[in-house]
Structure 1
Amino acid sequence: MSELTTTDPYVQDGTYAWFRLAISILLSTLGGAGMWAVVIVLPAVQADFGIDRAGASLPYTATMIGFAAGNYVLGRYVDRYGIVPPVIASALSLSAGFALAAIAPDIWMFTLAQGVLVGLGTAATFGPLIADISHWFLKRRGLAVGCAACGNYLAGVLWPSIIQRSLATSDWRETYLLIAVICLVTMVPLALMLRRPPPEAALSASPSQNTFGSQSTGLSPATLQILLVIAGLACCVAMSMPQVHIVAYCVDLGFGVAPGADMIALMTGAGVISRLVSGFVADKIGGVRTLLISSVLQCAALFLFIPFNGLASLYLVSLIFGLSQGGIVPNYAVIVREYLPAKEAGQRVGLVIMSTILGMALGGWLSGLIYDLTGSYEAAFLNGIAWNVLNMAIMVFILMRGRWAGSRVAA
């Protein structure tokens, strides 16, 4: 019986788990179009509708709000019914959303299509997929979660290039129609490959009693969840400044749209490396410590954007930023799975991911507002740094409480 168990391809960390991870990465990459497309077309949309920078940032904010809500709502749905129905619904929603946005007569219809259809459609291909794949791994859970989260950043590498090429020969509306077709014809067949339910052993796993190795958080599950939500919001307000506004920043500096799109591809491509490395590290030292390391590195990278605004230096700083911050968001999912019940993974991971996306939404809009008030992005970078410090403080607090709780138990 033990030999059959060890050779079963459908156990945790088995061959099917890795195949499923590959499909999840593909789906996340395709669905990630909903997050990145609006960033690339932001200057074109602003010119088309004749609005200011803050107004042009609203569709992105609406997309992130829909994305955030979808991660929590669909996460609860995945806990009950599995991943396939939400992903198929995601394909339909993305296709309809991009098509409607392409024919929008004004910024309000465009924003509505982005927030309701594109935002919700994108959601199923991030947090819910991460929660689903976490059930299929035990020894390599951190690495698997990091890999699944890479799809979101691979989208940031793939889609800006596709969109930029399309914009060179057509307008942003035709580009959106192209994306609508791609999402529909590729995502539905891939979703049907994920019909097998998770191993029963994964769903029946007991909570880990708030511990990782010999350490304890010293916090109740509810308190830990609240702290992770606040930390997720803070880190992503900081993260959003370069990711949302780098294209507009390059236009303001006279470099044009193309270098900004390249920088998004560069920072997200580097983010893929960061997520893989952080997943490997999280399997060794735990999610909290790994997240703190990534947060400190992100804060340092944000400082570099302020004095260095030449074209070559911006490329270099974008690379550093991507290598620094990519591992932050996946580690929230690792922390949830380390300390909270497996059967609630979908909704709990979804709740924390929701807070990170709301942080991106808030930060994207806030940076545009600060730009309109000050005429430059320097104050926006400083605002991001302040939020980053809050994230670091929460992680330090969790670690210190863990050490205090551990010392009490030892005494």
Structure 2
Amino acid sequence: MNTSGFTNCFGALQSYFIGEFGEPSSAVSWIGSMQIFLYFFIGAFSGRLTDAGYFRVTFFTGSLAHVVGIFTASFGSELWIMFVTLGLGVGLGNGLMSCPMLAVMSQYFTKRRGMAVGITMCGSCTGGLIYSSILRQLISSLGFPWTMRVIALIQFVTLAFANICLRPRTSAKSISGWVDWTAFRDVRFNHYAIATFMSLLGLYISIFFIVDFSRTSISPSLSYRNGLSLLMIFNGVNAIGRFGSGLAADKFGVLGVFVPVLVATSLTLFTWISVRTVPSMYVWTVFCGIFCGGIQSLFPAGLGYLTAGTEQPGTRMGMVFGLGSIASLIGSPIVGALVGAMDGNYLGAQVFGGATMALSALFLEATRRADKRMVRCSKD
């Protein structure tokens, strides 16, 4: 709710900052991209710290950084301050909380891990829905500063509860390094890492740009308030994709479900090209929200499946998070630059998003086939 959930509402802040500061989308998108970059990059280290027995101090530090980042943003009046507080501060908190939380949660489930991860990841879309609603209702009435303070208070209370309840189930392990080099001997791990990189290049395009697109590229264009309604719908149906894909993963296998979800997302992003009216915008938002939710749920579930039973699961998760951080950092600014280079036309961005998801599906299919061969060999 508080890590990815707050990031999932950044589309509302992006559109607001573009209008408030008069900066291009390529510049503003660095704030959201930095949040996601640090979410994954710091995860490469926080996962290792969890394996080493430092979960509680790591998670607490992340909680503190997250709340302080949002609260101090309420006093900012320039874009660079928003980058430091919401980009660096919130991003640091994201990274220190996300991977440890997933690693600890995975320790409690084996047979129903897919559903468990799906339910856990539903917190992201719940948070996106809640925070989008808060921004929609309060910015116009209370202003940006007090809206950020309200969100910071909500985060303080909910994260305090999380710090009390979350407890590792396994004992600390002696870890020799920050990288588990034996992971690269597993072809499944290598293909999955590449698939993760490609999917994260295009995953956050719709989340970050859906509000701006609805205000500039359809007829009639939507107001900022109505554009936020789209973001709320996106986060609402996102829960369907997250929970539904988790259930399907438990029944049919996480990799077997993940591939068609990526293909469907690729096709959805390509069909974005044809969206020109308000009704088609709403229909497209529903489908995109569902499929993107599936990716966000299946990515950690697949990673949990591939690292289950290994000596350093948190470290391996962190390695993939670190690679994914690079993609998440450059993906949205690339899209913003494409939109700017085409004078506000989203065609290049739409093709870019669809192509990255298609490539991700290819590498994930290679992962699935390699896993199938490994399972067959183990039975023989």
| Deviation of 1:298 (Å) | 0.7
* Structure 2 counterpart of 1:372, from 315, 340, 348: 340
| Deviation of 1:82 (Å) | 5.3
| Deviation of 1:32 (Å) | 3.6
**Which residue in the other structure is 1:69 paired with?**
41
| Aligned equivalents of 2:359, 2:287: Cα separation in 1 | 21
- Return closer, same or farther for 1:265/1:345 CA change in 2, 3 Å cut-off: farther
**Which residue in the other structure is 1:359 paired with?**
327
**Which residue in the other structure is 1:187 paired with?**
159
| Aligned equivalents of 2:274, 2:225: Cα separation in 1 | 22
**Which residue in the other structure is 2:293 paired with?**
326
1:40-189 correspondence runs (5 A): 40-81=12-53, 83-189=55-161
**Which residue in the other structure is 1:383 paired with?**
352
Residue pair 2:69, 2:89 contacting (<8 A) in 1 also: yes
Residue pair 2:39, 2:92 contacting (<8 A) in 1 also: yes
Amino acid at match of 1:109: I
Larger Rg: 1
**Which residue in the other structure is 2:214 paired with?**
250
Residue pair 1:135, 1:199 contacting (<8 A) in 2 also: yes
Amino acid at match of 2:191: L
- Return closer, same or farther for 1:399/1:44 CA change in 2, 3 Å cut-off: closer
- Return closer, same or farther for 1:342/1:164 CA change in 2, 3 Å cut-off: farther
Q: CA RMSD in A?
A: 2.6
Residue pair 2:5, 2:125 contacting (<8 A) in 1 also: no
| Deviation of 1:145 (Å) | 1.2
Question: Between Structure 1 and Structure 2, how many residues are aligned?
Answer: 366
| Aligned equivalents of 2:328, 2:13: Cα separation in 1 | 17
Residue pair 1:234, 1:390 contacting (<8 A) in 2 also: yes
Q: Percent identity?
A: 21
| Aligned equivalents of 1:130, 1:284: Cα separation in 2 | 21
| Aligned equivalents of 1:387, 1:81: Cα separation in 2 | 37
Residue pair 1:235, 1:387 contacting (<8 A) in 2 also: yes
**Which residue in the other structure is 1:12 paired with?**
none
- Return closer, same or farther for 1:198/1:408 CA change in 2, 3 Å cut-off: closer
| Deviation of 1:97 (Å) | 0.7
Residue pair 1:90, 1:123 contacting (<8 A) in 2 also: yes
**Which residue in the other structure is 1:19 paired with?**
none
**What's the TM-score once normalised by structure 2's chain length?**
0.87
Q: 2:165 matched to 1:198?
A: no
Any unmatched runs of 5+ in structure 1? Answer: 1-28, 204-218
SS at match of 1:198: coil
- Return closer, same or farther for 1:126/1:309 CA change in 2, 3 Å cut-off: farther
Any unmatched runs of 5+ in structure 2? Answer: 174-182
* Structure 1 counterpart of 2:303, from 336, 340, 354: 336
Cα deviation 1:257-311 (Å, max 9, x = unaligned): 2233222222222221112121122222222111102101111211221112211
1:25-44 correspondence runs (5 A): 29-44=1-16
| Deviation of 1:140 (Å) | 0.8
Amino acid at match of 2:340: D
Amino acid at match of 1:391: S
Residue pair 1:126, 1:149 contacting (<8 A) in 2 also: no
* Structure 1 counterpart of 2:275, from 293, 305, 308: 308
Amino acid at match of 1:352: V
Amino acid at match of 1:366: I
| Deviation of 1:396 (Å) | 2.0
| Deviation of 1:188 (Å) | 1.4
| Deviation of 1:105 (Å) | 4.1
Amino acid at match of 2:264: L
| Aligned equivalents of 1:226, 1:150: Cα separation in 2 | 27
SS at match of 2:203: helix
| Deviation of 1:405 (Å) | 6.0
Cα deviation 1:7-26 (Å, max 9, x = unaligned): xxxxxxxxxxxxxxxxxxxx
**Which residue in the other structure is 1:234 paired with?**
198
| Aligned equivalents of 2:281, 2:134: Cα separation in 1 | 22
- Return closer, same or farther for 1:284/1:290 CA change in 2, 3 Å cut-off: same
- Return closer, same or farther for 1:309/1:239 CA change in 2, 3 Å cut-off: farther
- Return closer, same or farther for 1:309/1:71 CA change in 2, 3 Å cut-off: farther
SS at match of 2:42: helix
Residue pair 1:67, 1:357 contacting (<8 A) in 2 also: yes
* Structure 1 counterpart of 2:244, from 274, 277, 302: 277
- Greater shift, 102-111 or 163-172, is seen at 102-111
| Deviation of 1:244 (Å) | 0.8
| Aligned equivalents of 2:52, 2:375: Cα separation in 1 | 36
| Aligned equivalents of 1:373, 1:183: Cα separation in 2 | 38
- Return closer, same or farther for 1:405/1:125 CA change in 2, 3 Å cut-off: closer
- Return closer, same or farther for 1:140/1:118 CA change in 2, 3 Å cut-off: same
Amino acid at match of 1:168: S
- Greater shift, 119-128 or 296-305, is seen at 119-128
